[in-house]
């Protein structure tokens, strides 16, 4: 039972994370390969502040602000680039952030990580806190879902799609492409920061090893598998990926093969991404479903 709660909580956190990436990837068409950086910045900000004695909700709010500011900072150089080059810049940014966590020991304790991150006082501690934490995650996921959907159907969401479809047309129609992309990245980063801080307060221990390229690929897989540019896609993708990952634990694999399985997992995700891109690039839920009928 507790195990099921655990999976659900992780899936919900990943759903928030995936929805935040979807804002950039699905709507604005920005291939951000460093999205984990904002997840990490959110996690560390919230963890450090609450370890310093700040109330958890305040720490989470600060995490969102910090991640949003980092997103704005990244935009200044990275959005001068387009397409693949933007992807590479974000990839490098995420690596810089990870190395910062690893090396600035005075702040982050480096590879030792930060243990004992408190949970919000009202959810309790230890195993007993799980049901309430699930409720917290559920509330936040639903709010984020409604928020993202509200933005996506607004003229702002439509303008992002114009930028995704054709930047030159967007400019010719009077859209400030740089500003629209920046706002998408900042909004995505803020929500990724929220997901990261939820993660930190749930797991209660974080270290730089939690925020590697693997995490970016995983969340990318959630979005692409579920259906980018749709509201339900990232949520569906997050649940599918997390449940698949947990189901692997029950495979009857001999113990001495275990060390081979971990690297294999990454290969399976990579392969899954390639296959989806080739066979069904729009994901399980297609953005264009309705228009196909008529």
Question: In the set 41, 64, 162, 241, which binds another protein (CB under 8 A)?
Answer: 162
Nearest distance in Å: CB 180, another protein: 8
C-alpha to C-alpha distance for 209 and 160, rounded to whole angstroms: 33
DSSP-assigned letters across all residues of 132-152: HHHHHHHHHHHHHHHHHHHHH
Residue 183 CB neighbour total at 10 angstroms:
20
Contact window for another protein (CB under 8 A) among 58-66, 126-134, 146-154, 209-217:
146-154
Report the residue number, 123 or 170, with the smaller CB distance to another protein. 170
Q: Does 80 bind another protein (CB under 8 A)?
A: no
Is 114 or 162 the residue whose CB approaches another protein more closely?
162
Candidate ranges 93-101, 147-155, 195-203, 273-281; the one touching another protein (CB under 8 A): 147-155
Instruction: Measure the CA–CA gap between 59 and 206, rounded to whole angstroms.
Output: 15
Is residue 150 part of the contact set for another protein (CB under 8 A)?
yes
183 binds another protein (CB under 8 A): yes
How many Å apart are CA 164 and CA 187, to the nearest integer?
16
Q: Where are the alpha helices (DSSP H) in the chain?
A: 2-22, 36-51, 56-78, 83-103, 105-108, 130-153, 155-165, 167-172, 177-203, 213-226, 233-247, 258-279, 289-293
Of 182 and 197, the one with the shorter C-beta distance to another protein is 182
Judged by CB under 8 A, which stretch of 19-27, 110-118, 156-164, 234-242 contacts another protein?
156-164
In order of 3, 5, 167, the CA distances from 248 in angstroms are 14, 17, 42
**Of the candidate residues 169, 261, 264, 277, the single one contacting another protein (CB under 8 A):** 169
Q: What residues line the site for another protein (CB under 8 A)?
A: 150-151, 154-156, 158-159, 161-162, 165-166, 168-177, 180, 183, 187, 287-288, 291, 294
């Amino acid at each position: 039972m507790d195990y099921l709660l655990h999976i659900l909580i992780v899936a919900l956190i990943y759903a928030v994370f995936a929805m935040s990436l979807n804002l950039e990837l699905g709507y604005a068409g920005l291939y951000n390969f460093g999205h984990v950086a904002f997840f990490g910045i959110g996690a560390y900000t919230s963890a450090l502040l609450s370890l310093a004695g700040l109330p958890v909700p305040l720490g989470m709010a600060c995490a969102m602000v910090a991640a949003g500011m980092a997103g704005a900072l990244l935009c200044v150089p990275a959005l001068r680039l387009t397409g693949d080059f933007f992807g590479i810049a974000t990839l490098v940014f995420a690596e810089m952030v990870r190395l910062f966590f690893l090396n600035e020991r005075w702040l982050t304790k480096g590879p030792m990580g930060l243990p004992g991150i408190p949970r919000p006082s009202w959810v309790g501690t230890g195993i007993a806190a799980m049901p309430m934490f699930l409720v917290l995650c559920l509330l936040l996921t639903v709010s984020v879902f409604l928020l993202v959907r509200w933005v996506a159907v607004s003229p702002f969401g439509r303008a992002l799609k114009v930028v995704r479809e054709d930047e030159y047309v967007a400019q010719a129609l009077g859209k400030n492409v740089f500003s629209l992309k920046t706002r998408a990245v900042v909004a995505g980063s803020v929500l990724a920061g929220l997901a990261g801080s939820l993660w930190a307060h749930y797991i209660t221990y974080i270290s730089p090893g939690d925020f590697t390229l693997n995490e970016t690929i995983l969340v990318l897989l959630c979005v692409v598998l579920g259906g980018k540019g749709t509201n339900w896609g990232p949520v569906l993708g997050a649940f599918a990926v997390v449940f698949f990952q947990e189901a692997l634990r029950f495979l009857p694999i001999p113990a001495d093969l275990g060390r081979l399985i971990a690297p294999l997992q990454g290969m399976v995700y990579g392969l899954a991404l390639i296959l989806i891109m080739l066979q069904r690039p729009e994901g399980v839920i297609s953005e264009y479903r309705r228009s196909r009928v008529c």
